[in-house]
Amino acid sequence: MKTRAAVVVEGGKDLEIREVELDDPRPDEIRVKMVASGICHTDAIFRDQWHPIELPAVLGHEGSGIVEEVGSAVTDLAPGDRVVLGPAFCGQCAQCFAGHPMYCEKFGERNFAGVRGDGSRAFSDENGPVGSHFFGQSSFAEHSNVVASGAIKVDEEVPLELLGPLGCGIMTGAGSVLNVLDVKAGDSLAVFGTGAVGMAGVLAAKAAGVSTIIVVDIVESRLEFARELGATHTVNSKEQDPVEAIMEITGTGVQHALDTTGVPAVFNQMTNSLRILGHGVLVGASKVGTQASIDVGTRLASGIRVSLVIEGDAVPQEFIPRLIALHKTGVFPFEKLTRTYPLEEINRAFADSAEGTTLKPIVVY
Ligand code: NAD
Ligand code: ZN
Protein backbone atom coordinates (compact mmCIF):
# COMPACT_ATOMS: atom_id res chain seq x y z
CA MET A 1 0.00 0.00 0.00
CA LYS A 2 0.98 3.65 -0.36
CA THR A 3 1.47 5.79 2.73
CA ARG A 4 3.12 9.07 3.73
CA ALA A 5 6.23 9.23 5.84
CA ALA A 6 8.80 11.74 7.09
CA VAL A 7 12.05 10.46 5.59
CA VAL A 8 15.63 11.26 6.59
CA VAL A 9 17.33 11.59 3.22
CA GLU A 10 20.57 13.24 4.29
CA GLY A 11 22.22 13.26 7.72
CA GLY A 12 21.73 16.46 9.70
CA LYS A 13 19.10 17.79 7.27
CA ASP A 14 15.35 18.31 7.67
CA LEU A 15 13.09 15.29 7.20
CA GLU A 16 11.19 15.17 3.90
CA ILE A 17 7.50 14.23 3.72
CA ARG A 18 7.27 11.65 0.95
CA GLU A 19 4.85 9.09 -0.39
CA VAL A 20 6.33 5.62 0.12
CA GLU A 21 5.27 2.06 -0.59
CA LEU A 22 4.69 -0.15 2.48
CA ASP A 23 5.01 -3.92 2.05
CA ASP A 24 2.84 -6.54 3.79
CA PRO A 25 3.32 -7.28 7.49
CA ARG A 26 5.46 -10.36 8.21
CA PRO A 27 4.01 -13.20 10.33
CA ASP A 28 5.27 -11.59 13.58
CA GLU A 29 4.21 -8.05 12.65
CA ILE A 30 1.17 -5.84 12.78
CA ARG A 31 0.29 -3.06 10.39
CA VAL A 32 -0.51 0.01 12.46
CA LYS A 33 -2.39 3.09 11.35
CA MET A 34 -0.49 5.65 13.39
CA VAL A 35 -2.58 8.10 15.36
CA ALA A 36 0.46 9.99 16.64
CA SER A 37 4.16 9.78 17.36
CA GLY A 38 6.23 11.58 19.93
CA ILE A 39 9.60 13.02 18.91
CA CYS A 40 12.50 12.09 21.18
CA HIS A 41 15.98 13.56 21.28
CA THR A 42 17.19 10.13 20.14
CA ASP A 43 15.44 10.70 16.77
CA ALA A 44 17.57 13.84 16.36
CA ILE A 45 20.70 11.86 17.25
CA PHE A 46 20.01 9.38 14.44
CA ARG A 47 18.85 12.11 12.03
CA ASP A 48 22.21 13.81 12.62
CA GLN A 49 24.09 10.48 12.33
CA TRP A 50 25.76 10.70 15.77
CA HIS A 51 24.85 7.05 15.65
CA PRO A 52 24.88 6.10 11.97
CA ILE A 53 21.87 4.49 10.32
CA GLU A 54 21.75 3.75 6.60
CA LEU A 55 19.79 6.45 4.71
CA PRO A 56 17.18 7.08 3.49
CA ALA A 57 15.26 5.90 6.54
CA VAL A 58 12.04 6.52 8.44
CA LEU A 59 12.68 7.22 12.13
CA GLY A 60 10.13 7.69 14.94
CA HIS A 61 9.89 5.48 18.01
CA GLU A 62 7.10 6.80 20.20
CA GLY A 63 4.15 5.68 18.11
CA SER A 64 0.57 5.05 19.10
CA GLY A 65 -2.14 3.86 16.78
CA ILE A 66 -4.72 1.36 15.70
CA VAL A 67 -3.98 -2.15 14.47
CA GLU A 68 -5.18 -2.58 10.87
CA GLU A 69 -3.85 -6.03 10.05
CA VAL A 70 -2.05 -8.76 11.96
CA GLY A 71 0.56 -11.25 10.71
CA SER A 72 -0.25 -14.97 10.71
CA ALA A 73 1.74 -15.67 13.91
CA VAL A 74 0.17 -12.84 15.96
CA THR A 75 -2.42 -14.24 18.36
CA ASP A 76 -2.85 -11.57 21.03
CA LEU A 77 -3.74 -8.56 18.88
CA ALA A 78 -6.53 -8.00 16.38
CA PRO A 79 -7.55 -5.31 13.89
CA GLY A 80 -9.12 -2.39 15.75
CA ASP A 81 -6.95 -2.76 18.85
CA ARG A 82 -5.48 0.49 20.18
CA VAL A 83 -1.76 0.16 20.84
CA VAL A 84 1.22 2.05 22.24
CA LEU A 85 4.50 1.00 20.66
CA GLY A 86 7.61 0.17 22.66
CA PRO A 87 11.08 -0.97 21.51
CA ALA A 88 11.69 -4.38 19.92
CA PHE A 89 13.46 -7.21 21.74
CA CYS A 90 14.08 -10.86 20.93
CA GLY A 91 12.37 -12.48 23.93
CA GLN A 92 14.85 -15.38 23.67
CA CYS A 93 18.14 -14.19 25.18
CA ALA A 94 19.33 -14.36 28.79
CA GLN A 95 18.48 -10.69 29.43
CA CYS A 96 14.96 -11.00 28.01
CA PHE A 97 14.33 -14.12 30.11
CA ALA A 98 15.71 -12.36 33.19
CA GLY A 99 13.09 -9.61 32.84
CA HIS A 100 15.35 -6.98 31.27
CA PRO A 101 14.18 -6.84 27.64
CA MET A 102 15.57 -3.31 27.20
CA TYR A 103 19.02 -4.93 27.51
CA CYS A 104 18.15 -7.60 24.94
CA GLU A 105 21.33 -8.92 23.36
CA LYS A 106 19.80 -8.10 19.98
CA PHE A 107 18.57 -4.63 21.03
CA GLY A 108 20.91 -2.83 18.63
CA GLU A 109 20.11 -4.88 15.56
CA ARG A 110 16.36 -4.96 16.29
CA ASN A 111 16.03 -1.23 16.96
CA PHE A 112 18.77 0.77 15.25
CA ALA A 113 19.63 -1.13 12.07
CA GLY A 114 16.83 0.28 9.89
CA VAL A 115 16.07 -3.21 8.59
CA ARG A 116 14.24 -6.37 9.62
CA GLY A 117 16.17 -9.35 10.95
CA ASP A 118 16.16 -10.82 7.43
CA GLY A 119 17.70 -7.65 6.00
CA SER A 120 14.55 -6.40 4.26
CA ARG A 121 13.04 -2.92 4.61
CA ALA A 122 9.30 -2.34 4.86
CA PHE A 123 9.33 0.94 2.91
CA SER A 124 10.47 1.75 -0.58
CA ASP A 125 10.16 4.52 -3.16
CA GLU A 126 11.09 4.97 -6.79
CA ASN A 127 14.78 5.06 -5.82
CA GLY A 128 14.75 1.78 -3.90
CA PRO A 129 14.37 0.59 -0.30
CA VAL A 130 13.79 3.06 2.54
CA GLY A 131 14.91 2.11 6.07
CA SER A 132 12.19 0.92 8.45
CA HIS A 133 11.82 -0.83 11.82
CA PHE A 134 13.52 1.94 13.79
CA PHE A 135 12.85 0.78 17.37
CA GLY A 136 10.80 -1.95 15.70
CA GLN A 137 8.26 0.60 14.48
CA SER A 138 9.43 3.64 12.38
CA SER A 139 6.47 5.66 13.59
CA PHE A 140 7.06 8.80 11.47
CA ALA A 141 4.71 7.26 8.89
CA GLU A 142 0.95 7.23 8.57
CA HIS A 143 1.10 3.43 8.35
CA SER A 144 3.93 1.15 9.40
CA ASN A 145 4.69 -2.54 9.91
CA VAL A 146 5.59 -2.99 13.52
CA VAL A 147 7.09 -5.86 15.51
CA ALA A 148 4.00 -7.15 17.32
CA SER A 149 5.74 -8.09 20.58
CA GLY A 150 6.65 -4.42 21.12
CA ALA A 151 3.00 -3.28 21.01
CA ILE A 152 1.00 -2.75 24.19
CA LYS A 153 -2.79 -2.85 23.95
CA VAL A 154 -4.55 -0.02 25.79
CA ASP A 155 -8.20 0.56 26.65
CA GLU A 156 -10.73 2.98 25.18
CA GLU A 157 -10.61 5.55 27.97
CA VAL A 158 -7.10 6.80 27.40
CA PRO A 159 -6.15 9.65 25.00
CA LEU A 160 -4.30 7.54 22.42
CA GLU A 161 -2.69 10.54 20.68
CA LEU A 162 -0.81 11.46 23.87
CA LEU A 163 0.42 7.99 24.78
CA GLY A 164 3.24 7.37 22.28
CA PRO A 165 5.92 9.04 24.47
CA LEU A 166 5.21 6.45 27.14
CA GLY A 167 7.06 4.06 24.80
CA CYS A 168 10.41 5.87 25.18
CA GLY A 169 11.06 9.30 26.72
CA ILE A 170 8.51 9.17 29.51
CA MET A 171 9.24 5.50 30.25
CA THR A 172 12.97 6.28 30.44
CA GLY A 173 12.64 9.12 32.96
CA ALA A 174 9.95 7.51 35.08
CA GLY A 175 11.46 4.01 34.87
CA SER A 176 14.91 5.24 35.90
CA VAL A 177 13.40 6.79 39.02
CA LEU A 178 10.88 4.07 39.90
CA ASN A 179 12.63 0.89 38.69
CA VAL A 180 16.36 1.58 38.84
CA LEU A 181 16.77 4.19 41.57
CA ASP A 182 13.78 2.62 43.33
CA VAL A 183 13.09 5.85 45.23
CA LYS A 184 11.09 5.81 48.45
CA ALA A 185 8.79 8.41 49.98
CA GLY A 186 10.90 10.95 51.85
CA ASP A 187 14.04 10.39 49.73
CA SER A 188 16.13 13.03 47.93
CA LEU A 189 16.80 13.15 44.18
CA ALA A 190 18.69 15.47 41.83
CA VAL A 191 17.69 15.58 38.15
CA PHE A 192 20.20 17.06 35.69
CA GLY A 193 18.52 18.24 32.48
CA THR A 194 14.83 18.93 32.30
CA GLY A 195 13.79 17.84 28.87
CA ALA A 196 10.95 15.34 28.60
CA VAL A 197 13.08 12.58 30.11
CA GLY A 198 14.16 14.62 33.13
CA MET A 199 10.68 16.04 33.69
CA ALA A 200 9.18 12.54 33.56
CA GLY A 201 11.67 11.68 36.30
CA VAL A 202 10.47 14.68 38.32
CA LEU A 203 6.81 13.67 37.89
CA ALA A 204 7.55 10.06 38.88
CA ALA A 205 9.55 11.18 41.93
CA LYS A 206 6.71 13.44 43.04
CA ALA A 207 4.19 10.62 42.54
CA ALA A 208 6.40 8.36 44.71
CA GLY A 209 6.58 10.92 47.52
CA VAL A 210 10.23 11.95 47.10
CA SER A 211 10.45 14.98 49.38
CA THR A 212 13.55 16.75 48.03
CA ILE A 213 13.59 17.08 44.24
CA ILE A 214 16.46 19.27 43.01
CA VAL A 215 16.46 20.11 39.32
CA VAL A 216 19.53 21.39 37.46
CA ASP A 217 19.42 22.95 33.98
CA ILE A 218 20.83 25.88 32.05
CA VAL A 219 17.49 27.14 30.66
CA GLU A 220 15.61 29.32 33.14
CA SER A 221 12.14 28.70 31.66
CA ARG A 222 12.61 24.93 32.07
CA LEU A 223 13.60 25.42 35.70
CA GLU A 224 10.48 27.49 36.30
CA PHE A 225 8.34 24.80 34.72
CA ALA A 226 10.08 22.13 36.82
CA ARG A 227 9.00 24.01 39.96
CA GLU A 228 5.41 23.97 38.69
CA LEU A 229 5.66 20.21 38.18
CA GLY A 230 7.00 19.44 41.63
CA ALA A 231 10.71 20.33 41.90
CA THR A 232 11.37 21.58 45.41
CA HIS A 233 14.63 23.32 44.43
CA THR A 234 16.12 24.47 41.12
CA VAL A 235 19.70 25.29 40.20
CA ASN A 236 20.78 27.16 37.08
CA SER A 237 24.20 25.61 36.53
CA LYS A 238 25.24 28.50 34.28
CA GLU A 239 25.06 30.74 37.33
CA GLN A 240 25.86 28.44 40.23
CA ASP A 241 28.03 25.36 40.80
CA PRO A 242 25.40 22.62 41.03
CA VAL A 243 27.47 20.39 43.33
CA GLU A 244 27.90 23.22 45.84
CA ALA A 245 24.21 24.09 45.55
CA ILE A 246 23.14 20.48 46.15
CA MET A 247 25.46 20.21 49.18
CA GLU A 248 24.00 23.44 50.56
CA ILE A 249 20.43 22.19 50.14
CA THR A 250 20.97 18.66 51.47
CA GLY A 251 23.97 18.94 53.80
CA THR A 252 25.25 15.51 52.77
CA GLY A 253 24.45 15.14 49.06
CA VAL A 254 21.48 13.44 47.41
CA GLN A 255 20.53 9.77 47.73
CA HIS A 256 19.56 9.52 44.06
CA ALA A 257 20.49 11.37 40.88
CA LEU A 258 19.54 11.22 37.23
CA ASP A 259 21.67 12.68 34.41
CA THR A 260 19.64 13.19 31.25
CA THR A 261 22.10 15.54 29.53
CA GLY A 262 24.74 13.23 28.07
CA VAL A 263 27.29 15.97 28.81
CA PRO A 264 30.48 14.51 30.38
CA ALA A 265 30.92 17.46 32.79
CA VAL A 266 27.38 16.92 34.07
CA PHE A 267 28.03 13.22 34.65
CA ASN A 268 30.97 14.29 36.82
CA GLN A 269 28.74 16.77 38.69
CA MET A 270 26.17 14.04 39.23
CA THR A 271 28.66 11.63 40.79
CA ASN A 272 30.03 14.42 43.01
CA SER A 273 26.57 15.38 44.25
CA LEU A 274 25.71 11.89 45.56
CA ARG A 275 25.81 11.26 49.28
CA ILE A 276 27.45 8.14 50.79
CA LEU A 277 25.89 5.01 49.23
CA GLY A 278 24.01 7.22 46.78
CA HIS A 279 22.98 5.93 43.36
CA GLY A 280 23.27 7.86 40.11
CA VAL A 281 21.76 6.96 36.74
CA LEU A 282 22.96 8.16 33.35
CA VAL A 283 20.41 8.07 30.52
CA GLY A 284 21.56 11.03 28.38
CA ALA A 285 22.97 9.85 25.06
CA SER A 286 26.35 11.03 23.74
CA LYS A 287 28.30 10.65 20.51
CA VAL A 288 30.07 7.32 20.12
CA GLY A 289 33.54 7.65 21.71
CA THR A 290 32.52 10.16 24.43
CA GLN A 291 34.41 9.66 27.70
CA ALA A 292 33.26 10.85 31.15
CA SER A 293 35.18 10.79 34.40
CA ILE A 294 34.59 10.08 38.08
CA ASP A 295 36.98 11.34 40.77
CA VAL A 296 37.72 7.79 41.95
CA GLY A 297 40.37 9.07 44.34
CA THR A 298 37.85 11.04 46.36
CA ARG A 299 34.76 8.96 45.78
CA LEU A 300 36.05 5.43 46.44
CA ALA A 301 35.12 5.42 50.12
CA SER A 302 31.62 6.79 49.41
CA GLY A 303 30.29 3.47 48.10
CA ILE A 304 28.29 5.26 45.41
CA ARG A 305 26.77 3.31 42.55
CA VAL A 306 26.42 4.48 38.96
CA SER A 307 24.13 2.80 36.44
CA LEU A 308 23.95 3.40 32.70
CA VAL A 309 20.33 2.85 31.83
CA ILE A 310 18.25 2.14 28.74
CA GLU A 311 14.50 2.78 28.68
CA GLY A 312 14.31 2.90 32.48
CA ASP A 313 15.06 -0.85 32.56
CA ALA A 314 11.32 -1.26 32.14
CA VAL A 315 9.33 -4.20 30.88
CA PRO A 316 7.09 -2.03 28.70
CA GLN A 317 4.19 -4.51 28.82
CA GLU A 318 4.14 -4.10 32.60
CA PHE A 319 5.36 -0.53 33.04
CA ILE A 320 3.33 1.38 30.43
CA PRO A 321 -0.03 0.19 31.86
CA ARG A 322 1.30 1.22 35.30
CA LEU A 323 2.07 4.74 34.03
CA ILE A 324 -1.37 4.93 32.42
CA ALA A 325 -2.95 3.88 35.74
CA LEU A 326 -0.97 6.60 37.55
CA HIS A 327 -2.01 9.11 34.90
CA LYS A 328 -5.69 8.22 35.39
CA THR A 329 -5.46 8.99 39.10
CA GLY A 330 -3.99 12.42 38.30
CA VAL A 331 -0.61 11.96 39.99
CA PHE A 332 1.36 11.56 36.75
CA PRO A 333 0.24 14.46 34.51
CA PHE A 334 2.74 13.85 31.70
CA GLU A 335 0.35 15.51 29.23
CA LYS A 336 1.66 18.83 30.61
CA LEU A 337 4.96 18.11 28.82
CA THR A 338 3.39 17.63 25.40
CA ARG A 339 2.49 19.80 22.42
CA THR A 340 0.97 18.48 19.19
CA TYR A 341 1.98 19.28 15.59
CA PRO A 342 0.67 18.14 12.20
CA LEU A 343 3.01 15.91 10.14
CA GLU A 344 3.79 18.85 7.82
CA GLU A 345 5.36 20.67 10.79
CA ILE A 346 7.59 17.82 11.97
CA ASN A 347 10.78 19.81 11.36
CA ARG A 348 9.44 22.75 13.37
CA ALA A 349 8.62 20.26 16.13
CA PHE A 350 12.25 19.05 16.11
CA ALA A 351 13.47 22.67 16.19
CA ASP A 352 11.13 23.64 19.05
CA SER A 353 12.43 20.69 21.06
CA ALA A 354 16.07 21.63 20.36
CA GLU A 355 15.43 25.25 21.35
CA GLY A 356 13.71 24.16 24.52
CA THR A 357 10.33 25.76 23.77
CA THR A 358 8.57 22.37 23.56
CA LEU A 359 9.43 19.55 25.93
CA LYS A 360 7.72 16.68 24.16
CA PRO A 361 6.50 17.32 20.63
CA ILE A 362 3.90 14.88 19.31
CA VAL A 363 3.14 14.59 15.61
CA VAL A 364 -0.55 13.84 15.10
CA TYR A 365 -1.54 12.16 11.83
P1 NAD B 1 16.16 17.36 25.77
O2 NAD B 1 17.19 17.86 24.82
O3 NAD B 1 14.77 17.85 25.65
O4 NAD B 1 16.64 17.66 27.28
C5 NAD B 1 17.96 17.83 27.68
C6 NAD B 1 18.01 18.92 28.77
O7 NAD B 1 19.34 19.01 29.26
C8 NAD B 1 17.62 20.31 28.27
O9 NAD B 1 16.63 20.89 29.13
C10 NAD B 1 18.94 21.09 28.33
O11 NAD B 1 18.74 22.47 28.61
C12 NAD B 1 19.64 20.37 29.46
N13 NAD B 1 21.10 20.55 29.44
C14 NAD B 1 21.93 20.54 28.36
N15 NAD B 1 23.20 20.78 28.75
C16 NAD B 1 23.17 20.92 30.09
C17 NAD B 1 24.17 21.19 31.07
N18 NAD B 1 25.45 21.35 30.73
N19 NAD B 1 23.78 21.27 32.35
C20 NAD B 1 22.49 21.12 32.71
N21 NAD B 1 21.49 20.87 31.82
C22 NAD B 1 21.83 20.77 30.53
O23 NAD B 1 16.22 15.77 25.66
P24 NAD B 1 15.23 14.61 26.20
O25 NAD B 1 14.26 14.25 25.14
O26 NAD B 1 14.74 14.94 27.56
O27 NAD B 1 16.29 13.43 26.27
C28 NAD B 1 17.37 13.52 27.17
C29 NAD B 1 18.49 12.59 26.74
O30 NAD B 1 18.13 11.25 26.99
C31 NAD B 1 18.88 12.66 25.27
O32 NAD B 1 20.28 12.54 25.17
C33 NAD B 1 18.21 11.44 24.67
O34 NAD B 1 18.85 10.99 23.51
C35 NAD B 1 18.37 10.48 25.80
N36 NAD B 1 17.45 9.35 25.86
C37 NAD B 1 17.96 8.21 26.36
C38 NAD B 1 17.15 7.12 26.52
C39 NAD B 1 17.71 5.88 27.13
O40 NAD B 1 17.07 4.84 27.01
N41 NAD B 1 18.85 5.93 27.79
C42 NAD B 1 15.81 7.18 26.15
C43 NAD B 1 15.29 8.38 25.68
C44 NAD B 1 16.13 9.47 25.54
ZN1 ZN C 1 13.56 7.89 22.58
Q: Quick one: pLDDT at residue 241?
A: 98
> Is the model's pLDDT at 157 over the cut of 90?
no
Q: Quick one: pLDDT at residue 288?
A: 87
Rounded to the nearest angstrom, the gap between the alpha carbon of residue 286 and the centroid of all alpha carbons in its chain is 14
**Whether residue 298 sits in one domain with residue 152:** no
Arithmetic mean of pLDDT, 114-123: 95
What CATH number does residue 214 fall under?
Answer: 3.40.50.720
Q: Which residue, by CA, sits nearest to atom 24 of ligand 1? A: 195
> Is the model's pLDDT at 156 over the cut of 90?
no
**Whether residue 157 sits in one domain with residue 52:** yes
Is 321 part of a structural domain of the chain? no
Is 323 part of a structural domain of the chain? no
Residue ranges making up the domain that contains 86: 2-167+333-364
What CATH number does residue 134 fall under?
Answer: 3.90.180.10
Strand duo 143-147 + 29-38: pairing: antiparallel
**Whether residue 193 sits in one domain with residue 133:** no
**Whether residue 232 sits in one domain with residue 131:** no
Chain segment 301-310, per-residue pLDDT in tens: 999 999 999 9
- Ligand 1 atom closest to the CA of 219, numbered from 1: 11
CB of 311 sitting under 6 A from ligand 1: yes
Residue percentage of the chain with pLDDT more than 70:
100
Q: Quick one: pLDDT at residue 253?
A: 98
What's the complex ipTM? Answer: 0.98
**Whether residue 178 sits in one domain with residue 141:** no
Is 322 part of a structural domain of the chain? no
CB of 202 sitting under 6 A from ligand 1: no
**Whether residue 21 sits in one domain with residue 148:** yes
**Whether residue 125 sits in one domain with residue 18:** yes
**Whether residue 241 sits in one domain with residue 342:** no
**Whether residue 281 sits in one domain with residue 216:** yes
CB of 197 sitting under 6 A from ligand 1: yes
> Is the model's pLDDT at 294 over the cut of 90?
yes
Q: Quick one: pLDDT at residue 87?
A: 97
Q: Quick one: pLDDT at residue 287?
A: 87
**Whether residue 177 sits in one domain with residue 163:** no
CB of 55 sitting under 6 A from ligand 1: no
Is 325 part of a structural domain of the chain? no
CB of 44 sitting under 6 A from ligand 1: no
Arithmetic mean of pLDDT, 220-232: 96
Is 319 part of a structural domain of the chain? no
**Whether residue 144 sits in one domain with residue 72:** yes
| Burial classification of residue 200, based on how many CB atoms lie within 10 Å of its CB (0-12 exposed, 13-18 middle, 19 or more buried) | buried
**Whether residue 226 sits in one domain with residue 291:** yes
Total tally of structural domains belonging to the chain: 2
Q: Which residue, by CA, sits nearest to atom 34 of ligand 1? A: 42
Q: Quick one: pLDDT at residue 9?
A: 97
